[in-house]
Structure 1
Amino acid sequence: MHITSAFDSGNIEVINADARPIELSIRQDNNSDFYQWFHFRLEGKTGDSYPLRIINAGKAAYPAGWENYRVCASYDRQNWFRIEAEYDGNTLDFTVDLDQPSIYLAYFAPFPWERHLDLLAWAQGHDLVQLETLGQTLDGRDMTLLTVGDAAAAKHKVWMIARQHPGETMAEWFVEGFLEALLDDANPSAQSLLADTVFYVVPNMNPDGSVRGHLRTNAAGANLNREWQDPSMERSPEVFLVRQKMLEIGGDIFLDIHGDEALPFNFVAACEGIPGYDKRHAELEETFKRAFVTASPDFQTERGYDLDKPGEANMTVGTNWCGHQFRTLALTLEMPFKDNDILPDPIEGWSPARCRQLARDIFLPIRETLKVL
């Protein structure tokens, strides 16, 4: 039996390979107490069963995320299915029954760095796309912005950023689906939007954390979604560079794509607690949510985060900063790590395919919201 995580986004430590179950531990993000993301490969004998135990699960960033959680698994790194797991408040236990000699196991289906680069290369081949490198991360990776549409002629500007928290890989699966639909010449919804709207898309806000196998932070240990009020090139260049571009360009809608460890639903969080929140903010939010419910059975508005009280928003959060700075619609879209309890999938749970489909369904709420701006 052999276990390794020495690859892109890999994260696990073998504590005791001779124990039964085999004892594993998730590494913390660099310079941070955050951890929950895992991704590793197990190699063994076909037909054998391998009981595994993550011994530090109970002290992870979001212990509630392990409740009713099922592990993502794949033999070919293309098709991912779920393995049942048990959480007792301290450890996460699951058993791998090997049908092939080697299997990959992860907190959610990974979105590899090579796939990110392939997405950028594919997108830039479209006549409507401009690729721009805004600068570099602390590990020297590019921060890339895709501009989709005619910026000079557009009436509206929509921003979409994803994966501030690198372990939330569903966010980049969402962006991939969004770009594929937006650049589909046969998609009337996309063509209608692009007639008067330009999209500014950052598919991966945290390249370093993604490759390092972090849950929530960048190379310096900074939680990027708490850096928006005062970012710096020394600690959070990712936010500094994107924020600088936002201030230069402006925008009408700001969408920040995330995943939630504990809640098995798709929902949005708004900026109701920012200073100066008004009826216009509320109208735009309700328009967006109402249209999204109409467009997608996977989206709902009954479950989500508690609302901030007036004037008590955390202004270091991207959505709050954008909503206040630009006085317009700013939303955080959250997808589940587990499954969507409204429409559960017993084989795959919430999956890359469902992320991509939800992205295709977001065209209607964007269009309806732009109508009332």
Structure 2
Amino acid sequence: MLNTRKSFLFIILISALTLSSCKTSEEFTGYSYDPEGVTETSDREINHQNKRTIGFLEDGVWITNEFRGSRVNDVIRTGTYHYRLQINPEISPINNSPWYGFQVWADDTTHVTLELTYTDGRHRYRPEISYNGGQTWQKADSISYNREPETRIGVISLEIGPEPVWISAQVPQTTTEFREWSDRIAKKAFIQRSVVGSSHQGRPIYQLKISEYSGEPVKGVVLIYGRQHPPEIPGYITGLHFIEELASDSDLAKKFREYFDIWTYPLMNPDGADNGHWRTNSTGVDLNRDWQYFNQPETNAVRRSLLPLLNRDDRKVFYAIDFHSTGETVFYPILKEIETFPHLFTYRWLDEIKRELPDIELNVEPFPTDSPIAKNWSHKTFGIDAVTYEVWDGLPKDQLEKLGTESAQIFMEMMISEFEKKMK
């Protein structure tokens, strides 16, 4: 009787979610930093980037965007070895996360000046530069780069030659790099990689399921989402380090996996990542505003793969994390007065991270559950606590690894305690 009733409720839930897919959100219209209409998540026309290599024969200088993860829409020569690069978003208006990526070289060794200008945005990210085809990267220093305070444009001055110099808003992380990472981690016997759906442009949406056999009749499940917004690479990288630690060979991780499975979707917006988008997928939709009506194939694929957990007697969802990046490292938890399971876990976890990692400034800003985002859907669907885990987009590489690894260790210790308290 119990299983029949649960199956019936599951069917009702699926039907209700499907019928609501054509509606628009009336309860929530956006955060203060969102453009108007952000919660209308039907397909939109976007401004496609024209892939090309632009050459200036009088200078012997060449600039290209003909590779994955690039963005530069036009280049204008304003003087000898001086160029204005125009960078446009895929839609407008849009959040100010102005991604750029291009390669520049010259027939002979020379010094060039590049002005980064934007439509519907202003310069934000200090450039990452690679002189060896992306093998190593370095942040532009104050000699080669400055942001003009009045015009808010970025100016890069550097020496180039016949070998292309790669300049990018963040160290690029396209579907190529993700596939390499997931190939490596999926070699472990207890990690299963599967395709749960496809993006608009046919790129796979991957799930990594970390599940090791144990004698527990009911195991907990932790949900992890990532890279809904393409430029937010520091949060994405922190999330990868977090996942790696949960899947590590440490005694703590082994014990954690006796009690918990991890269902993770580290790269939810592969189209945006490969097309160099500022914010959205290939139809101009902010995926982290599509967790109410699921009009987009990316969010809908993840939802479909998770809903069967409602009907399983051998699994109980405990927590959800959604990794992002912004102008500070900050946790966005659910308001304390809202009942969750485990109760107030995010706040307790945050306190422990602050205590263990005092050198990393970590802030907190609670939010209600009215917005159509991944964290809130996870709470409403499974009754759990959840957090949007935002990482400062200027945090150094070694700090990203430290934050991801050590916050995962603290998380595992606390989650084991919660499991033993609730399930034993």
TM-score normalized by the length of structure 2: 0.73
Distance 1:54 1:356, change over 3 A: same
SS at match of 2:229: coil
Is 2:187 aligned against 1:125? yes
Which shifted more, 141-150 or 189-198? 189-198
86, 93, 101: which one pairs with 1:25?
86
- The alignment status of 1:12 with 2:76, answered yes or no, reads no
The answer as to whether partners of 1:292 and 1:364 remain within 8 angstroms in 2 is: no
Per-residue deviation, residues 163-217 of structure 1 (Å, max 9, x unmatched): 00011122332233234333332x2332231121111111101011111111210
Aligned partner of 2:252 among 189, 204, 207: 189
Go from structure 1 to structure 2 and tell me whether the alpha carbon gap of 1:358 and 1:46 turns closer, same or farther (over 3 Å shift): farther
Match of 1:287 among 309, 326, 348: 348
* In 2, Cα distance between equivalents of 1:145 and 1:32: 32
Per-residue CA shift, 1:343-372, capped at 9, x if unaligned? xxxxxxx23x43233211122332244223
Q: Match for residue 226 of structure 1?
A: 289
SS of the aligned residue for 2:273 comes to: helix
Unaligned 5+ runs, structure 1 = 340-349
Aligned-residue offset at 1:280? 5.8
Quickly say closer, same or farther: Cα 1:162–1:151, change in 2 above 3 A: farther
Q: Which residue of 2 aligns with 1:81?
A: 138
| SS in structure 2 of the partner of residue 330 of structure 1 | strand
The SS at the match of 1:201 is strand
Structure 1 residues 298 and 156: CA distance shift in structure 2, 3 A: farther
**Quick one: which of 227, 239, 244 aligns to 2:304?**
244
- Structure 2: gaps (5+ residues): 1-60, 311-316
Distance 1:134 1:151 in 2: 22
Q: In the superposition, relative to structure 1, how do residues 368 and 189 fare at CA in structure 2: closer, same or farther (>3 Å)?
A: closer
**Residue of structure 1 equivalent to 2:373:** 317
- In the alignment of these two chains, the number of paired residues is 342
Q: Aligned in 2, Cα 1:212/1:30: closer, same or farther, shift over 3 Å? A: farther
Quick one: percent identity of the two aligned structures? 19
Shift of residue 30, structure 1, vs aligned partner? 5.2
Greater mean alpha carbon deviation, residues 280-289 or residues 2-11 = 280-289
The alpha-carbon distance between structure 1 residues 323 and 364, as it changes in their structure 2 partners (threshold 3 A), is same
CA separation in 2, counterparts of 1:93 and 1:177?
31
SS at 1:333's partner residue? Answer: strand
8 Å Cα contact 2:329-2:391 kept in structure 1: yes
How far does residue 45 in structure 1 lie from its aligned partner after superposition? 6.1
Q: Does 1:266 align with 2:311?
A: no
User: 1:336 is aligned with what amino acid?
Assistant: W
Partner of 2:8: none
Q: Which residue of 1 aligns with 2:198?
A: 136
1:159 aligns with 2:223: yes
CA distance in 2, matches of 1:299, 1:158: 25
C-alpha deviation, 1:143, in angstroms = 0.7
Tell me the secondary structure at the aligned position of residue 127 of structure 2: strand
CA distance in 1, matches of 2:187, 2:269: 24
**Are residues 51 and 221 of structure 1, via their aligned partners in 2, closer, same or farther at CA, if it must alter by over 3 Å?**
same
Match of 1:254 among 294, 313, 320: 320
| Counterpart contact for 2:245–2:409, Cα < 8 Å | no
Specify the structure having the higher radius of gyration (Cα). 2
Distance 1:115 1:240, change over 3 A: same
Q: Contact 1:137/1:143 (CA < 8 Å) preserved in 2?
A: yes
TM-score if structure 1 supplies the norm length?
Answer: 0.83
Answer with 76-85 or 276-285: which moved more: 276-285
CA distance in 2, matches of 1:327, 1:87: 48
In structure 2, the residue matched to 1:148 is 210
Quickly say closer, same or farther: Cα 1:125–1:51, change in 2 above 3 A.
same
Report matched runs for 1:320-331 at 5 Å: 320-331=376-387
Q: Distance in 2 between matches of 1:25 and 1:272?
A: 42
1:334 to 390, 400, 404: 390
Displacement after TM superposition at 1:16 (Å):
0.7
Is the Cα–Cα contact under 8 Å of residues 134 and 145 in structure 1 kept in the other structure? yes
How far residue 325 of structure 1 moved from its aligned partner, in angstroms, is 2.5
| Contact kept in structure 2, 1:31 and 1:221, CA below 8 Å | no
Following superposition, the deviation at residue 327 of structure 1 comes to 2.1
Alignment RMSD: 2.6
